[in-house]
Amino acid sequence: MWIPAGRSWWRGRALAPWASGPARPRLPWSRPAPTHAVATDPRAPSRPYGSAELKETPDMSRFPVEDIRNFSIIAHVDHGKSTLADRLLELTGTIEKTTNNKQVLDKLQVERERGITVKAQTASLFYSFGGKQYLLNLIDTPGHVDFSYEVSRSLSACQGVLLVVDANEGIQAQTVANFFLAFEAQLSVIPVINKIDLKNADPERVEKQIEKVFDIPSEECIKISAKLGTNVESVLHAVIERIPPPKVHRNNPLKALVFDSTFDQYRGVIANVALFDGMVSKGDKIVSAHTLKTYEVNEVGILVPNEQSTHKLYAGQVGYLIAGMKTVTEAQIGDTLYLHKHPVEPLPGFKSAKPMVFAGMYPIDQSEYNNLKSAIEKLTLNDSSVTVHRDSSLALGAGWRLGFLGLLHMEVFNQRLEQEYNASVILTTPTVPYKAVLASAKLIKVVKYLIPLCMSTNRELHKGVKVAEKLYFLKKMCNLLGSIMAIISSSFLLASFDYEDAGYQTAELVKMDILLNGNIVEELTTVVHKDKAYSVGKTICERLKDSLPRQLFEIAIQASIGSKVIARETVKAYRKNVLAKCYGGDITRKMKLLKRQAEGKKKLRKIGNIEVPKDAFIKVLKTQPNK
């Protein structure tokens, strides 16, 4: 068995000696008495990039396994996960209680703009209950179906979940999907009925629903209003009372699961870890079970919700670890870390998420290729569900073929590239994989079919079987190339689905080109079912018409199969585009506007002499309501 102090001394690394002392009865935040070694040791902990929020370094040895609860909040979109998380953070003093705490755990700009959670976040909460201080590790999870892999990953570090259900809307598709994820992982489920303050709230009906669908007695439901803070405290009590502590051992050798990772350009890979056994501290030599590479730990800490370094992390705890991993391939999510020379049985890890939608991604300018490459590499490290293969196109040059979990996922990825890496890209039509046997130049015969399993709240949508009030279950086969895009898109917020491979089936397909003033738009070339070519072509032309800005000449938009034009739309030329009033001397504003537009013009892609905004194609491919 390892003696922590001895190990630290033995390695002589930059770990302050008081950090590795035996557990002393003190509060987690209390500053340890400075020792001689600290005062003189130049290697005393100074972390240029560490969180500056808390001056004292918490002593994590204060929390034995039985005082730890690891839990997640799962819910359908908009049922109030993030609001409840905000309240829990406030209640435990993790963040200050102000009116400005909205989506505290949603750190990405895209999350705040769209009001969704994309990336799971972790926060360690300290809470006193029954005369004892507990360490509660909260892992916020995304609600949208596209990001359900994030949920299952987060659950692997938990022993229980709060299943939040809207008191007005009741059980929705993602509620069911998330419940089963938790149920299969054998986690304790605490149902929380939220938004009881709403006028149309009907918590009793929702209680009955929960009893019927999930077989959880209605008296176990906690009724709260996260917005107003009503009854939130009892949620914390339930977490402590109903969720078991993790079944792990501090005295076993280290076994840590990497359940998420982020990339920081200054510090390299920051791995979020859950300790199943043992402990880890700065200076330890650790090994990745996946790559067998050895690393030295530079920093460990907890997330509160920003990074707060600690001396150690112990079994059952959740936190982060920085160990000089620099390249994207080194920090595999699902990997197990163990101490050098003390190998352990690796944890099962994760099934990698299956991409559903594939699209080409190209730099707007080929000179941007390398920048974009590194941006994609960094972003995929934070989002490993995206698959990346190199690709190239005649029109667009070198690029990649990326696999996404859905269209929202694709959009979010694109938006993050723009916002976080300032990268502008061209995305091509999302498609699904298929095998083609060329019958002639324009006829393709074989196509892959997939079977989606859909759960929907909208009976009209898929003609499902009623499971509970306002909830339907259905199993329907559908042609991936045609209607699945419609189902995936229309089921945003309405349905959740899973899919399985149904093998290949034969179909008659044609290649359809889209032309702008006679020039083929490579990005929009699609393979469609012969019977659907006309309607698909017509829709693409109509949408393109709506998303192409007027220019100084007329634009003919055509869909064609071979040389046969099957649909056509026209964008008329500008007749007037000049600001009437341009004096009173205020030229500055006008010049600014013109220059901003000129800057934007530079970024447009040219097809022939037609200028096409880069989001035009995304707009064309996105399913719009009533279309």
Residues that bind another protein (CB under 8 A): 551-553, 574-588, 590-591, 594-595, 597-598, 601-602, 609
DSSP codes, 432-449: ------BSSSSEEEEEEE
Nearer to another protein, 66 or 586 (CB): 586
* Shortest CB 571 distance to another protein, Å: 12
* Shortest CB 579 distance to another protein, Å: 6
Lookup: tokens for 358: 């594939």
The answer to whether 454 touches 547, Cβ cutoff 8 Å, is no
Taking the C-alpha atoms of residue 181 and residue 171, their distance in angstroms, rounded to an integer, is 15
* Shortest CB 142 distance to another protein, Å: 34
Residue with tokens 């899973």: 498
Q: How many helices, marked H, and strands, marked E, lie in the chain?
A: 15, 30
Does residue 28 have a known ligand-binding role? no
Q: Alpha carbon of 327 to those of 113, 259, 381: distances in Å?
A: 30, 17, 9
The answer to whether 246 touches 207, Cβ cutoff 8 Å, is no
The answer to whether 402 touches 349, Cβ cutoff 8 Å, is no
Nearer to another protein, 468 or 604 (CB): 604
Nearer to another protein, 247 or 592 (CB): 592
Nearer to another protein, 36 or 581 (CB): 581
Q: Which helix (H) or strand (E) holds 375?
A: helix 369-382
* Shortest CB 611 distance to another protein, Å: 10
Nearer to another protein, 387 or 551 (CB): 551
Does residue 80 have a known ligand-binding role? yes
Q: Which helix (H) or strand (E) holds 281?
A: strand 279-281
Tell me whether strands 188-194 and 222-223 are parallel, antiparallel or unpaired. parallel
* Shortest CB 555 distance to another protein, Å: 14
Does residue 613 have a known ligand-binding role? no
* Shortest CB 602 distance to another protein, Å: 7
Nearer to another protein, 477 or 582 (CB): 582
Which spans in 469-586 are helix H? Answer: 483-490, 533-547
Neighbouring C-beta atoms of residue 176, cutoff 10 Å = 20
Taking the C-alpha atoms of residue 421 and residue 400, their distance in angstroms, rounded to an integer, is 17
Taking the C-alpha atoms of residue 145 and residue 148, their distance in angstroms, rounded to an integer, is 5
E-strand spans in 297-424?
299-303, 307-310, 312-314, 318-322, 336-339, 357-363, 387-393, 397-404
Nearer to another protein, 562 or 600 (CB): 600
Nearer to another protein, 27 or 594 (CB): 594
Nearer to another protein, 436 or 593 (CB): 593
* Shortest CB 371 distance to another protein, Å: 21
Q: Of 401, 406, 433, 403, nearest to 503 (Cα)?
A: 433
* Shortest CB 606 distance to another protein, Å: 10
CA 38 to mean position of chain CA atoms? 41
Q: How buried is residue 274: exposed, middle or buried, by Cβ count under 10 Å (0-12/13-18/19+)? A: buried
Q: Of 544, 549, 543, 547, nearest to 572 (Cα)?
A: 549
What backbone torsions phi and psi does residue 166 show, to the nearest 5 degrees?
-70, 130
* Shortest CB 576 distance to another protein, Å: 4
Nearer to another protein, 36 or 589 (CB): 589
* Shortest CB 109 distance to another protein, Å: 25
Q: Can you name the residues that pair with 610 across neighbouring β-strands?
A: 607
Does residue 384 have a known ligand-binding role? no
Nearer to another protein, 98 or 577 (CB): 577
* Shortest CB 600 distance to another protein, Å: 9
Taking the C-alpha atoms of residue 77 and residue 150, their distance in angstroms, rounded to an integer, is 14
Nearer to another protein, 46 or 588 (CB): 588
Handedness of CA 610, 613, 614, 615 (dihedral sign): negative
Taking the C-alpha atoms of residue 312 and residue 31, their distance in angstroms, rounded to an integer, is 15
* Shortest CB 521 distance to another protein, Å: 20
Taking the C-alpha atoms of residue 616 and residue 408, their distance in angstroms, rounded to an integer, is 16
Q: How buried is residue 538: exposed, middle or buried, by Cβ count under 10 Å (0-12/13-18/19+)? A: middle
* Shortest CB 68 distance to another protein, Å: 53
Tell me whether strands 318-322 and 222-223 are parallel, antiparallel or unpaired. unpaired
Nearer to another protein, 564 or 602 (CB): 602
B/e letters for 432-458, b = 16+ CB within 10 Å, e = fewer, are bebeeeeeeebbbeebbbbbbebbbbe
Does residue 197 have a known ligand-binding role? yes
Does residue 194 have a known ligand-binding role? yes
Does residue 79 have a known ligand-binding role? yes
Does residue 140 have a known ligand-binding role? yes
Does residue 141 have a known ligand-binding role? yes
Q: Which amino acid is at 339?
A: L
Taking the C-alpha atoms of residue 44 and residue 14, their distance in angstroms, rounded to an integer, is 6
Q: Which residues are annotated as a binding site for GTP?
A: 75-82, 140-144, 194-197
Q: Which residues are annotated as a binding site?
A: 75-82, 140-144, 194-197
